[in-house]
Amino acid sequence: MTKTIFIASAEPYSGKSMVALGLVNMLLGKAQKIGYFKPIINSSSTDKKDVHIETIVNYFNLPVQYADTFAFTGSEVLRMIEANNQGEIIDTIISKYKQFEENYDFTLVEGTDFTGEGTAFEFDINVTVAKNLGIPVVLVVSGENKTTAQVINAVFTAWRNFEAREVQVIAIIANKVNPVQADDVRELLRSQLPPGLISAVIPEDKSLKNPTMHEICQSLGGKLLFGEQQLSNQVDNFVTGAMQVPNFLKHIKDNVLIVTPGDRGDIIICALQANLSANYPRIAGIVLTAGSEPEEPIIQLIEGLQTVVPIVAVKTGTFQTTTEIGAIKSQITPDNPKKIELAIDTFEKYVDVAALDEKIVTFTAEGITPHMFQYQLVKWAKSQKKHIVLPEGNDDRILRAAARLINQEVVDLTILGNATDIAAAIKRMGLPLDMSRVRIINPAESEYYEEYVHTLYELRKNKNVELEMAYDLMTDVSYFGTMMVYKGHADGMVSGAVHTTLHTIRPALQFVKTKPGVSIVSSVFFMCLPDRVSVFGDCAVNPNPTAEQLAEIAISSAESSQRFGIEPRIAMLSYSSGTSGEGAEVEKVRLATEIVKQKRPDLKVEGPIQYDAAVDPEVGKQKLPNSEVAGQASVLIFPDLNTGNNTYKAVQRETGALAIGPMLQGLNKPVNDLSRGCTVDDIFNTVVITAIQSQG
């Protein structure tokens, strides 16, 4: 069951605020604490509150602080897009949403409104946010001023755009549809949309669509002269009072707004009298144009009336005023409970609430996006804070990553190196790193140096390591850092920014050694592709594994996949799929697949299988139609190091994927190797996964 639902539209003024009100009302019947979150609000600054948020929070009295209900203003997002910081936008939204979500039984997330600058970016942002949060979507499409064919086309275009990005839409609501077209639209949606997809058609309701006198006064920047008590009057149409009284009276309709120059006392008196007469429809209000107000006798007459409709004075001329009034789009606001209640009633009348509730209960998120994966990694690391040693304190990248790790309180750190040199480097780079929060050790000066030397000697004396040699080795930061892990003085080690892979992992192979039942140390990369995270193994350690070793790598990789929240579906890769190919390399992969099935019958595994058949659903269905793995593999095992290393680098370069790793698997305690070309992000991510590994 999902605890969240996302309301999205593809255009402005779709009426999704009405859908939001209906959903919150529905959810309050199922759960006590409902949260409301809008990642991006229209307001240009945080000083001006978002009307949608205020309406929902105030009406339902939700236990939500306004500042917690959004992540960015629209103008902030535009600036970040211009600076090419889209990734930071998504990361911040995920982080804020996740903190918010923990406090509620159910959370309603509402997409952008498409009414500010940069609306071209908004649809993509909404799809991206929904995908990264892993939540189902209720899609709202406006039918206003559209033919039946245009409504259907708009529905399918929006729906397919979400589906193409693998975002699950559970309901589509065609809103503001012309009542005459409603039955046709309803029937066409039912017959053309997939059976499991809920659809609803809500006819246009002028009581929801048309503005109140309060909205008109605000939109025009008018001065209210009379009728404050009746500002909630709804305006269904308007007429210009520029004719003689007898002709003017013929144009009065229910809930009409009269627009006339302020010096037309005859029209003003006539309108007020008609409003009091049982023979004429009700008047909503009067707008006086051209910056003129009624003369004193008219004012005196109006003041003597017991009930007066709102009278508003504006500075603009009659033509401009009527044009602006025609362009006003009504909103559901906190001060209009009547419209809020009508919105809820309308939602319940036209939407199958029971079916929608069932969809929410049975929804299961599929896969995990790179941004969500990275967020979860950091969250897991923080949940059980571990102590990691970084041996290469003489590298600026290590210190930059250390500053981020400490300031985000992800791990405790020991950095190996000269304290004076490290302090100077931190000062030179202007890093926000408090030296008191990091332990800095020079191996030869450490209180543990003698103890570590003798421990190494005892462990390796049968391998011709003499005491003098142990003294020399223990001045090496890789040996010292690994010994810290072995002795339990650190939970894990990350190195390799300066040193070779062999230099980094040799000490671990010599005395940390492999876990019981594991004969081979291997590696995986977490490949964060644009729409999913895959596990690639082994791309860093074993040049040409045997079938037995390949099977062990596959099992270790599947366990790593599970440990990091990715459901393992193992593809044993080769240049052939199924039984179509022959040759020693294919047979090795075929045998390795059988060994995995024998040792771990609980795992989903397919092999031999080609890369395209493993990851592309269409190709997978074609080549291996009955496979549980083909087309949806999440763990890809390469037959040798040459294939694996080249493939991960090709995928990384060609797709822009983030490769986290390599993460070594099979050791008793976590030691991980960096590439010498690593970035600060690579170091940060590798420390995070090392911390998670050490949690057991």
Per residue, what are the HEC states of 194-216? CCCCEEEEEECCHHHHCCEHHHH
Report whether the peptide linkage leading into residue 538 is cis, meaning its omega lies within 30 degrees of zero.
Answer: yes
Look up residue 432 and give its two tokens: 């926000």
Q: What is the pLDDT of residue 41?
A: 87
Does the pLDDT of residue 547 top 90, yes or no? yes
pLDDT tens digits for range 377-403? 888 898 899 999 999 999 999 999 999
Residue 306 pLDDT level (bands cut at 50, 70, 90)? confident
Residue 89 pLDDT level (bands cut at 50, 70, 90)? confident
Name the strands in the sheet holding 237-240, side by side, starting at the edge strand that comes first in the sequence: 223-226, 311-313, 283-289, 256-261, 237-240
Q: What is the pLDDT of residue 654?
A: 85
Q: What is the pLDDT of residue 68?
A: 87
pLDDT tens digits for range 30-78? 777 888 999 888 776 556 788 889 999 988 888 888 888 888 888 888 8
Q: Give me the numbers of helices (H) and strands (E) for the chain, helices first please.
A: 28, 23
Rounded CA gap, 144 and 387, in Å? 59
Radius of gyration over alpha carbons of the chain, in Å? 34
Does the pLDDT of residue 366 top 70, yes or no? no
pLDDT tens digits for range 333-356? 888 888 888 898 899 899 998 888
pLDDT tens digits for range 438-489? 999 999 899 999 999 999 999 888 888 889 898 999 999 999 999 999 999 9
pLDDT tens digits for range 119-143? 556 788 888 888 888 888 999 999 9
Q: In a 10 Å sphere around its CB, with 0-12 CB exposed, 13-18 middle and 19+ buried, how is residue 282 labelled? A: middle
User: Which is higher by pLDDT, 279 or 77?
Assistant: 279
Rounded CA gap, 398 and 393, in Å? 6
Does the pLDDT of residue 118 top 60, yes or no? no
Mean pLDDT score, 162-174: 88
Look up residue 329 and give its two tokens: 């789009």
pLDDT tens digits for range 137-165? 999 999 999 999 999 999 999 999 888 88
Amino acid at 111: G
Look up residue 72 and give its two tokens: 């960015």
DSSP state of 608: E
How much is the mean pLDDT over the chain? 88
Q: Which domains does the chain have, with CATH numbers?
A: 4-206+338-360 (3.40.50.300), 213-329 (3.40.1390.20), 372-512 (3.40.50.10950), 522-666 (3.40.50.10750)
Rounded CA gap, 620 and 626, in Å? 9
C-alpha 339 chain-centroid distance: 31
Rounded CA gap, 399 and 423, in Å? 10
Phi–psi pair at 70, nearest 5 degrees: -145, 165
DSSP string, 33-73: -EEEEEEEES-SSTTSPPHHHHHHHHHHT-S--GGGSEEEE
Rounded CA gap, 656 and 690, in Å? 24
Across 178-282, the runs of DSSP E, i.e. the strands, are: 198-203, 223-226, 237-240, 256-261
Does the pLDDT of residue 324 top 80, yes or no? yes
Q: What is the pLDDT of residue 530?
A: 72
- For 332, residues 6+ apart whose C-beta sits below 8 A from its C-beta are 17, 18, 21, 55, 208, 339, 340, 343
641, 617 contact by CB (below 8 A)? no
Rounded CA gap, 434 and 403, in Å? 8
Q: Which conformational region is residue 555 in: left (phi greater than 0), alpha (psi within -120 to 50 degrees), or beta?
A: alpha
DSSP string, 614-673: HH-HHHHHHH-TT-SSTT--SEEE-SSHHHHHHHHHHHHHHH--EEEEEEEESBSS-EEE
Find tokens 């998120």 and name the residue. Answer: 365
- For 280, residues 6+ apart whose C-beta sits below 8 A from its C-beta are 249, 252, 274
Does the pLDDT of residue 117 top 60, yes or no? no
C-alpha 92 chain-centroid distance: 9
Q: What is the pLDDT of residue 288?
A: 93
Residue 364 pLDDT level (bands cut at 50, 70, 90)? low
Rounded CA gap, 205 and 520, in Å? 69
